[in-house]
Amino acid sequence: MLRAALVVCLVLGFLAGCGRDSKATIEARRVAPTASSPVLVGATSDQRFGPSQQPGSAAQKASDSLVYELPPGWKVLPAKEPRLFNLEVAGAQNCNAYLVMLPGAGGGMEDNIERWQLQMGSTDGLAAGVVERRQVLLLGGQATLVVIDGHYRGMGEADLADARMVGAILPAPQFTLFAKMTGPRALVESETPAFEAWCASLALSPELQPKPVASLPGTPNGGAGGPGFSWDVPEGWRDLGPRRMRLASFGVGEHCECSISTAGGTPEANADRWLGQMGASPLGAGGYGELARMSTGLGEAVLVQADGVWRGMNGETIESARLVGAILPLPRTNVFVKLWGPKDAVAAAQEDFEQLTRSLRMGGK
């Protein structure tokens, strides 16, 4: 129980520190489509793991502090030390994904990657090579993801000659987080977008998340009063109220939606995440500096626009869509304003979107 409490405290401290200066988000966040089983957000341990989970174990206590979205076709297996979450991928018993948290450096990133290479190597001790290495989003932080092909020999798991391992490592000041998927190479390759979506969806349980500091406007054209952020809602926009991970949501016309939210991560990485959500290419070196800017009551905002196919959190899609977004970097967080929907409808609402963004300010005056 002491270890579990420590893990929860470390997670809370890490997420609280994911402000502008932390290396949080990364390239496009790919969201899994509608799950074949319910999304386990805020579920109890019994709901996640079934009655076989040992009550009071460290894995159970620590996992209770985190939630995630279950990719389609994936199945929750009983957790076992040191795994916080243990999943079966796409109905294949020889393909698994799991999450492990270790104190401190956890053995070091490069040493762990070398250990994985040996685990995927040949019987004569030759290490397998890294096929790919890049950045992904894991628990709100910038993690290093590696892809290794070879002969997988897992402890107590299937021996697979033509296998692939995809592993993400997130170092933090007091712990290291490991997310890993192993299985037949072709299956792991096809399920890698779902694995990245699972990593990106990992978050603190709603009851442990800090409460939003913003208050909603009281009238369609009036700013909010009291502490936190406030804004002016364009005429005709419908207040849909705050939602999970949003300060506010608005219906715009018949087919568009706009959200206001806060989160950590670098502005560059968040811009790439939005572009990826639309199927667009990342900005690349120097691309962020070429984006348009706008003055607001909270400082300068960076504007992002992309056309493509919109893919939402619940699997919904909009063909021929457009996303326009504003990123406002603040000392300890970022404020995001995002409008999306059919391309023509977003273009018609863009002036109102810019009006809302300019009106962002601290407090209610």
pLDDT of res. 242: 64
Exposure string (b/e) for 79-94, b if CB count within 10 Å is 16 or more? beeebbbbbbbbebeb
Residue type, 326: A
pLDDT of res. 235: 93
Instruction: Supply angle C-alpha 219, 335, 248, rounded to 5.
Output: 35
Digit-by-digit pLDDT tens for the chain (365 residues) are 434 444 555 555 555 444 434 433 333 333 333 333 344 444 434 444 443 334 344 444 455 678 888 888 999 998 777 888 899 999 999 999 999 988 887 788 899 999 999 999 887 778 899 999 988 888 877 789 999 999 998 766 778 889 999 999 988 767 888 999 999 999 999 999 999 989 988 877 665 554 444 434 433 334 443 336 789 999 999 998 766 667 889 999 989 999 998 877 788 888 888 888 788 888 877 788 889 999 988 899 999 999 998 876 556 788 999 999 999 988 777 889 999 999 999 999 999 999 999 999 876 54
CB 323 within 8 A of CB 311: no
Bridging pattern class, strands 238-239 and 229-230: unpaired
The structure tokens 């072709």 sit at 186
**3-state SS string over 37-86?**
CCCCCCCCHHHHHCCCCCCCCHHHHHHCCEECCCCCCCEECCCCCCEEEE
pLDDT of res. 216: 40
Q: How many residues in the chain?
A: 365
Residue type, 144: T
pLDDT of res. 137: 84
On the CB side of 9, how many CA atoms lie within 13 Å of its CA?
A: 8
pTM of the model: 0.49
Instruction: Supply angle C-alpha 116, 122, 127, rounded to 5.
Output: 45
pLDDT of res. 15: 52
Domains defined along the chain, listed by start: 2-208 (3.40.1000.10), 229-362 (3.40.1000.10)
Non-local CB neighbours of 228 within 8 Å, separated by 6+ positions: 212, 213, 214, 215, 362, 363
